[in-house]
Amino acid sequence: MMNITLKQLRYFEALTRYRHFGRAAETCAISQPALSVQIKELEETLGVVLFERSARQVRLTGFGQDFAERARDVLRAVDELGDLARLAKDRMVGRLRIGVIPTVAPYLLPTLIHQLNTQHSGLDVHIRETLTQRLIAELLDGRLDTAIVALPVSEPGLVETPLFEEKFVLVRNAQDAEAPVPSPEGMREMKLLLLEEGHCFRDQAVSFCHLRPALARDGLDGSSLSTLVQMVGAGIGVTIIPEMAVSVETRSAPVALARFPGEEPGRSLGMVWRKTSPLAPQLNEIAEVVRNSAETLHAQNQHLLPI
């Protein structure tokens, strides 16, 4: 029987993810030479080369790609055994890996982390902020326990739990505060500042304004809502932000807020996790904490929003 260790599989998975010995070693909290030795021993045990190595690049061999899929399945199963043991305990303890999209993380997390620390002090919460597509991939790979995203994600392997709805508001330069609020069609005639491609919030704004892809690229693409709001304050165009971002993003920029007439644009936010996760009962409890945190944040923002 081959003597393959879980430690070797975790080192292999890290190197597969980063394709760089230094970054993989840093993630695994070991030295680069020690990581190299473990990978070499794994290859010798298998009798097959897993990586093509060059001065600038590390890439999987054909066998390495097949091995990576099986290794992820093994590591996910081991993690779920640990989750099952945690579930058997009387209270919620241990590591909880939560992914959050960038248009939610800066606004919801302060309240959420405070409530989690208060209600579940035994949890060791790890936060991962990135785009929805990456969160879903990491969730399916077992690198995350759950993620807070805009719904739906329509991934067969995941459970979707809707938590709350929120509206979008128009952000204009303060000098335009008394101007009529444009319709979605009217927004197409303005310089609309959007998040860069890959953000689901960008897609929602483009859909609301009925923009063609070519028109959506005519304005400024920003990496954060903060950049967009500051540009509006400087007199460059208009933008759209979710309600939860209002208190943080508008406090230091000369901008005015407005609600859209008629049916207001918005989004549904919720939590997703693997259908096979033994932590499902605990994650339902966490979902309630997220919902309560969102309600607290909503109440805090109401005095800043136009009626």
Question: Torsion over CA of 223, 226, 228 and 233, rounded to 10 degrees?
Answer: -160
Residues in CB range of 33: below 8 A, 6 or more apart:
none
Task: Please name which of 244, 259, 267, 241 lies closest in space to residue 105, comparing C-alpha atoms.
Answer: 244
Enter the pTM of the model.
Answer: 0.75
CB atoms within 10 A of CB 58: 17
* DSSP state for residue 19 in the 8-state scheme: S
pLDDT of residue 89: 61
**Domain architecture of the chain: domains with CATH:** 6-84 (1.10.10.10), 92-164+267-304 (3.40.190.10), 166-266 (3.40.190.10)
pLDDT of residue 128: 95
213 pLDDT more than 60: no
pLDDT of residue 3: 83
- What are the φ and ψ backbone dihedral angles of 60, each rounded to 5 degrees? -70, 145
pLDDT of residue 219: 54
State the Cα–Cα distance between residues 213 and 198, nearest whole angstrom: 13
Structure tokens belonging to residue 18:
């980063």
pLDDT of residue 156: 92
- What are the φ and ψ backbone dihedral angles of 203, each rounded to 5 degrees? -60, -40
What's the whole-number mean pLDDT along residues 60-83? 84
pLDDT of residue 206: 83
Structure tokens belonging to residue 256:
């005015």
pLDDT of residue 64: 87
**Which residue blocks in the chain are alpha helix, DSSP H?**
6-18, 21-27, 32-46, 62-87, 105-119, 132-140, 184-187, 200-208, 213-216, 225-233, 246-249, 280-301
What's the whole-number mean pLDDT along residues 291-302? 91
Strand partners, 238: 192
For a pLDDT cut of 90, what percent of the chain falls above it?
42
What's the whole-number mean pLDDT along residues 166-190? 88
What's the whole-number mean pLDDT along residues 61-70? 88
**Secondary structure element (H or E) that encloses residue 127, with its range:** strand 123-129
255 pLDDT more than 80: yes
CB atoms within 10 A of CB 226: 16
Strand partners, 68: none
1 pLDDT more than 70: no
48 pLDDT more than 70: yes
pLDDT confidence of 184, banded at 50, 70, 90? confident
pLDDT of residue 61: 87
State the Cα–Cα distance between residues 150 and 204, nearest whole angstrom: 10
